[in-house]
Structure 1
Amino acid sequence: MPGRRATERKGDLRERAILDTCETLLADKGFDAMTVGDLAQGAGITRGALYFYFGSKQEVVTALVARTVEHLWERSRATAEAEEPREAITAALDRTVELWNAHGPVLRTAIDRSLTVPEIGALWDRTADLFIAAITAVLERAGIPGGSGADRAPALARALCWMIERTFYHASQESRANLRKAAGTCEHIWLRTAGLTP
């Protein structure tokens, strides 16, 4: 059995190398220009070896998106349970800026492919649902009532979530300064929605 464990660890390292290479290539070349050969070369393995782990570059990207949104899920859960509403909103957007700065090309690829790749679409929808739940919890703690009306916390949270996604998507293509500015605008809108501005 010791040999089997060593093989699994080596496999995990290779899989991580493939995903890390994919993230670099998305930033440098984009999805369309990236090839399986690029992925294999960057990971230090043959094309044949890469196919042992993934059946296509789309599968590699899907696995990378899954790894990245895991970080997003952790952040949204923390926000839902954290701090008083004003602090929670600031913390949520600060964390979101950090993630977009670190993984912008992956997040943009996830958004771009979510409508055409069912696995990525399901991951992104689940991520949005978790963020909507977290935003709803913050709004309710701020005194916005729950329920199904257009002015209730769940509906407002859904609109805020998709507004933040599109705003960050566009700002992240411009500069870190624009991303930070966009976060400030989103924070202002979220605070106003929660009734936390004078």
Structure 2
Amino acid sequence: MPDNHPARRRRTAERKGDVRERAILDTCEALLAEKGYDAMAVGDIAQGAGITRGALYFYFGSKQEVVTALVARTVEHLWERSRVTAETDDPRRAIAAAMQRTVELWNEHGLVMRTAIDLSLAVPEIGELWGHTADLFIAAITAVLERAGVQAGTEPEQASAMARALCWMIERTFYHASQESRETLQGASSTCEHIWLISAGLTA
């Protein structure tokens, strides 16, 4: 007997659409590793996702839109890690947890994040996503520094300014280290964590 309930039909369509969109984004991430952004074509993405080029255009209007959606999916995970850091009361534990979770995400999706950084000036939507992500991390780092006793404020020696510098230092350090090896990334993370602890006055 056919299911004529409109809400159930919509949910089924949405699930199918979600599966296809996920396949498109997963394929895009794999092709970034295989070909790089410039060499990757819409046809390659469609073929890898098991759909026609025309079907892909139902979801995304261009390769740039696919990559932007992939970046958006990745930064959602970054935002989750930012929230976890902000919810941890002990500054030392918060710093250690933030760095470890960031290492895990760079190990999983470092190529996407490097692509986001590379395209952030050329593609406004990606620049906005990445900038918003940085702002969330800066706010989380600021909260940790303030809980550790660093004075609130935007002066060079105060929490907000220090957090901004730490955030961009970590981003650039991870960008380069993630291109080498997991061991290099872990070592770079340990160095960044040590600098963050020093900044928070927690090395004694």
Q: TM-score, normalised by structure 2?
A: 0.95
Give, as a single letter, the amino acid of the residue that structure 2 aligns with 1:65. Answer: V
Give how far 1:80 is off: 1.1
| TM-superposed deviation, 1:26 | 1.0
Q: Distance in 2 between matches of 1:110 and 1:183?
A: 20
Q: Gapped runs of 5+ residues in structure 2?
A: 1-5
Structure 1 counterpart SS, 2:157: coil
Q: Runs of at least 4 residues of structure 1 off by over 2 A? A: 2-5
Offset at 1:6?
Answer: 1.8
**1:125 corresponds to which of 114, 124, 131:** 131
Amino acid aligned to 1:57: K
AA paired with 1:174?
E
Give the length in aligned residue pairs. Answer: 198
Q: Which residue of 2 aligns with 1:74?
A: 80
Residue 148 of structure 1: aligned partner: 154
Q: Write the deviation string for residues 19-46 of structure 1: whole angstroms up to 9, x where unpaired.
A: 0101111112111111101100110000
Q: How far apart are 1:83 and its partner, in Å?
A: 3.5
Matched, 1:190 2:182: no
Tell me the distance in 2 between the aligned counterparts of 1:89 and 1:135.
8
Matches within 5 A, 1:110-121: 110-121=116-127
Paired residue for 1:105? 111
For 1:171, the equivalent position in structure 2 comes to 177
State how 1:24-39 maps to structure 2 within 5 Å: 24-39=30-45
Task: Render the CA deviation track for 1:122-173: whole Å, top value 9, x for unaligned.
Answer: 0001000000000000000000010121100000000000000000000000
- Report the AA paired with residue 102 of structure 1: E
CA RMSD of aligned residues (A): 0.8
- Rounded Cα–Cα distance in structure 2 between residues aligned with 1:7 and 1:30: 32
SS in 2 for 1:128: helix
Match of 1:7 in 2: 13
**Aligned with 1:45: secondary structure?**
coil
What is the alpha-carbon distance in structure 2 between the residues aligned to residue 150 and residue 55 of structure 1? 44
CA distance in 2, matches of 1:184, 1:4: 48
Greater Rg, structure 1 or structure 2?
2
TM-superposed CA distance for 1:113, in Å, is 0.5
Letter in 2 for 1:123: L
Match of 1:110, as an amino acid? A
Letter paired with 1:85: P
Aligned partners of 2:133 and 2:154: how far apart in 1? Answer: 21
Shift of 1:174: 0.5
The Cα of 1:13 is off from its aligned counterpart by 0.7
Q: Which amino acid aligns with 1:190?
A: W
